[in-house]
Amino acid sequence: MTTIEQPIAAAPPHYGGAVPYRRLAMLVLLALAGIALRGAVFAAINGGTDVSGYVHALCVWDCGWYRTIAEGGYDLAPGVRLRPGAANWAFFPLSPTLAALLGRLTGLSAEWAGFIVSNTAAILAALAARPLFNSGRAYWLFATGLLVGPFSFLFSSLHTEALFILMTTLALRALSNSRFVVAGLATALLSATRVTGVLMVFAMLAKAVEDHLTQGGRWRDLPLALIGNPPLLLGLALAPAGLFAYIAWLQFQVGDGLAFVHIQRAWGRELVNPLSSLALLTELQWPMTPAGMVVASWAAAAVIGLVLCVVLLFQRRVPAAIFCALCILVSLSAGQTSLVRFVAGLAPLGWALSALLARWTPAWVLGFLVAIVLDVVLTIGWINSSLFVM
């Protein structure tokens, strides 16, 4: 039987009320199921059930850099640990700071603390996202994909993605009800999680424009309407606070407020035209080499992400579409590296895909199965440090 659902933006979200404990319990069980599934994958690969070994196995790629921050703070100068001539300034502070605080309170290692912080953030993100869905079918597909899906290993380790998803969800949930100050506070934390978080200010502006036009306002009156909106102005002022605080700290600590930009040279990154990064897909030689396939997977992730941004527009989620498109394009301006990870961390793209699949029952059911299978397959690649999923 085919089920056609209404657009997910048709009804505004609610705020307040009792904590949905039953839903929270179901999400915790989903998260535990995902942890157990990935633990079984680890055990099958390594022939053992060492839990600490499992948590350590998830800590690959940038996790090592976040671990250095959680354990010893930021570098005072470029050094030789992990990468010659590099420093951990490129990695924003909120996620490792929370891991460090939890570690000091509990005595846990940075890896374990990051594991707990990320899993908690993923569960809270799934819980907070419910009012953004008209459809329970689409919501539970999204929640399953987040907690037991293709990239849930990433949302379960000392990386920024789970926290980024949580703060993105809180900001866009607030915006859906025109709560600009709350959105600004969430964006302040978002901009302390990853530099692209500050791009949420454009989503805030888009929502203000949308509200003005929906209420019958005219384009020529728009500038005065924006200037005369105190909650919007306060929200916009709060939004970059996390980024500005990190810049100020770097200036005080290492004498370069933009050290997080300048240190990118240690990874061979420099600013390029984002569209030229995508153009590499048309220049690949066939048959592709393993290196070519890796680059193609990164660029393809960006293309898929941009297509889902268009889907968000059709679903009348304009602020979310603008935010995600800008995040992808800004990330592409530094090259294709890690685009799979960056796109996976954009929650609204998951909302868009879940809503699409939920419109047709066979696709919806298949979505659950594919998500779980991909969790297994990609976890194997992640544990083996595959470049395809970095």
If you write DSSP's letter for every residue of 105-150 in order, what string do you get? HH---HHHHHHHHHHHHHHHHHHHHGGG-S-HHHHHHHHHHHHHST
Beta-carbon contacts of 268 under 8 Å, excluding residues fewer than 6 positions away, are: none
CA dist., res. 113 & res. 103, Å (int)? 6
pLDDT tens, residue by residue, 44-85: 998 877 899 999 999 998 999 999 999 999 999 998 677 888
CA angle centred on 27, ends 175 and 173, rounded to 5°: 0
Q: Which pTM does this prediction carry?
A: 0.92
The two tokens of residue 322 are 């603008």
CA distance 370 to 364: 10
pLDDT at 177: 96
**Residue written as token pair 């395809």:** 388
In this prediction, residues 230-242 reach a mean pLDDT of 98
Please say whether the beta carbons of 135 and 22 come within 8 A.
no
Residue 146: how many CA atoms within 13 Å on its side-chain side?
Answer: 37
388 with 340: CB under 8 angstroms? yes
Arithmetic mean of pLDDT, 297-301: 85
Task: Write out the two tokens for 165.
Answer: 């998803």
Structure confidence at residue 282 (pLDDT): 67
- Per-residue pLDDT of 177-227, as tens digits, reads 999 999 999 999 999 999 999 999 999 999 999 999 999 999 999 999 999
Nearest in space to 165 (alpha carbons), one of 112, 101, 95, 221: 95
* Amino acid at the residue 65: W
Collect all residues with Cβ–Cβ distance below 8 Å to 128 and sequence separation of at least 6: 166, 169, 170, 173
Helix then strand count (H, E) for the chain reads 19, 0
Query: Does residue 5 have a pLDDT over 80?
Result: no
Of 247, 278, 245, nearest to 262 (Cα)?
A: 247
- CA dihedral (127, 132, 135, 139) positive or negative: negative
Radius of gyration of the chain from its Cα atoms, rounded to whole angstroms: 21
Beta bridge partners of 86: 79
C-alpha–C-alpha distance, residues 191 and 184, integer Å: 10
**Average pLDDT value for residue range 372-384:** 94
Is residue 301 within 8 A of residue 349, CB to CB? The reply is: no
Asked which of 88-102, 296-310, 342-356, 374-388 is least confident by mean pLDDT, the reply is 374-388
- By CB neighbour count within 10 A (0-12 exposed, 13-18 middle, 19+ buried), where does 362 fall? exposed
Whole-Å CA distances, 319 to 72, 183, 207, 229:
38, 12, 6, 18
**What are 53's two structure tokens?**
């070994």
Question: How far is 276 from 267, CA to CA, in rounded Å?
Answer: 19
Q: Is the pLDDT of residue 322 over 50?
A: yes
Q: Is 319 helix (H, G, I), strand (E, B) or coil?
A: helix
CB 171 within 8 A of CB 188: no
Is the predicted pLDDT of residue 15 greater than 50, yes or no? Answer: no
Question: 319: cis peptide before it, omega within 30°?
Answer: no
- What values do phi and psi take at 86, rounded to 5? -100, 165
Residue of 334, 379, 305, 360 whose CA lies nearest to 155: 379
